[in-house]
Every structure is written in structure tokens, then in C-alpha cells.
Amino acid sequence: MKPHPKTEPWLPRLVVLPSFAISLLFIYGLMAWNAYLSVSASRLLPNYKFVGLQHYAALLESDRFQVAMTNMAVFGVFFIGGAMALGVLLAILLDQKVRGEGVLRTIYLYPMAISFIVTGTAWKWILNPGLGLQHLMHSWGFTDFKFEWLVDQDMAIYCVVIAGVWQSAGFVMALFLAALRGIDDSIIKAAQVDGASLPTIYWRIILPSLGPVFFSTLLVVSHLAIKSFDLVKALTSGGPGYATDLPATFMYDIAFTRGQIGVGAASATVMLATVAAIVVPYLYSELRSKR
């Protein structure tokens, strides 16, 4: 049955309206509620008495939150940089149409198919000095070999980086491999005729042309870094002590274990602001380019 001409322009809006209303309520509504909790007197239970920026001041004075933010910076730099560099390198290697490419691509992508909980648990076994890599090397006779980062307060955060890069590099590889396969082969052949080596071609011609892919991938990987929670919980539980705490694990522990809802909400709002600082410029640039 064909819709009436007067109602036809409104039909797409009516179809989208329920999902839009649900998103508005359960996403943006809860974000606004969390923001208000962060300036309320909430502790064990919500208390809507306004107390201003008291909880944000408590965050700034918290040594644990400062450690969490420092870890976020360290984890973010090495995780994003490592995943991007390794993913691009794997994509370039597979772009050479090597034998067994399908098998290699599947192997590299497989870590992304499993959850961060499984990744964290597996790497917890591998990096455990008593039963993982160090124990294996000792059983082979290399008794001087030491790898105790998992129980070292200064190095434990890099164990989280290793596990995160291992899981996310395949995702980055898939994005860049798809982009590389979309480049015309004649560009490479023309550069080779001019005497350019293959590394020079990729470094000076091909990779600079993939700016939008770089930006989109950076956005996704940065988002993964900021909201990292399950990987840390499974791998280190935030320890030793709280040496590997990230803002997400800090927020969960403060709000749901220690009953400080207001401080936890303030921490969540800081995380939201960090994500917005990355997403909003991207959306602005996209809208500006369309105009």
C-alpha cells in the first residue's frame, strides 16, 4: 500500500524516531545524569544536593587518580603507537601478495576475534614469572633469563601495552590492507620506472595518501585506549597495588567497591571529556569537508 503523499516525507522520520528517542534517553540522558551526580553529594546512594566541584577537587588530590592518569598517558602513547606501527607494517608485508596470505591474514586477525578478558588471562599466564615465559626459559637451561615485569610496579603497565598491541594490531592491519588494495598499481609501477625503491614508494607516496585512514584508525584505537577496563582487570587487576590503574578501573573501584558514587561519576565525566576531545574535532572536520 502506497503511503499518502502528505505523509510520505514524514515516514522516514517516524521510522527513526523510536531508536532516536531510546538513544536520547539511555545514552545522552544517562550521560547528563552522571554529570549531575559528579556535582552532587552522592556517596553510597545518589544524593542530589548540589556540592559544586567538590568531587573534582578530590580527584585532583587523589594520588591513585594521578597514577591512573599517568598510566593512561603511558598506555595511550605506547598502545596507540605500537598498534599503529605494527598494523601498518603487517599490512605492507601482506600487500606484497606473499604466499599463504589468507592464512597469515587470519592469524593476524584472530586476536581481535577474542575478548579482552581472554587476552588478559592468556597474557597473565605467559608473563607470570612462576609459570610463563621466565619459567620456560629456566627449564631450557637459561637460568639467567629474567622477565618479571608483571610483578614490577614500574614495568607492569607495559605488560598491559604488550597485550593490547597484540590484540589490536590485526585490526589496524585489516583497515590499512583494505586501503592499500584500493591504490592503483600504476602509481607504484610509474614510481619504479623513475627509479624509486619500494620502501621509498610506500614512505613518500602511498602512506601519505592514506591520511583519512590514518585519522579514522587513530580515532578508533584511541577510543579503545581510553575505555580500557577488562584487559587491565584480567591481566593485573590494577596491581601491583594500583600501579596499573587506568581511569576506567579507578572509576569502577571507587564507585562500586568503595561506595563513592560522586567521585566515580566525576572520574567518568573526565573520561567522557577526554573522548570528546578526540571525537569532536573529527566530527567537525568531517562536517566541514562535506560543506
Kindly report, residue by residue over 204-243, the tens digit of the pLDDT: 888 888 888 888 898 889 888 888 899 999 999 888 888 9
Q: Are 201 and 188 in contact (CB under 8 A)?
A: yes
* Domain residue ranges of the chain, discontinuous segments joined by +: 55-290
Q: Which pLDDT score is estimated for 4?
A: 56
Provide the b/e sequence for 250-263 (b: ≥16 CB within 10 Å): bbbbbbeeeebbbb
* pLDDT tens digits, 86-135: 999 999 998 887 788 888 888 888 888 888 899 999 999 999 988 888 98
Output the CATH code of domain 55-290.
Answer: 1.10.3720.10
Q: Provide the whole-model pTM.
A: 0.86
The conformation of residue 229, written as its DSSP 8-state character, comes to -
244 with 160: CB under 8 angstroms?
A: yes
What is the model's pLDDT at position 188? 79
Whether the pLDDT of residue 286 is over 80: the answer is: no
Q: Burial-class residue 156 by CB neighbours within 10 Å (0-12, 13-18, 19+).
A: buried
Lowest mean per-residue pLDDT among 69-83, 157-171, 212-226: 212-226
pLDDT more than 70, % of the chain:
95
State the average pLDDT for the chain.
Answer: 87
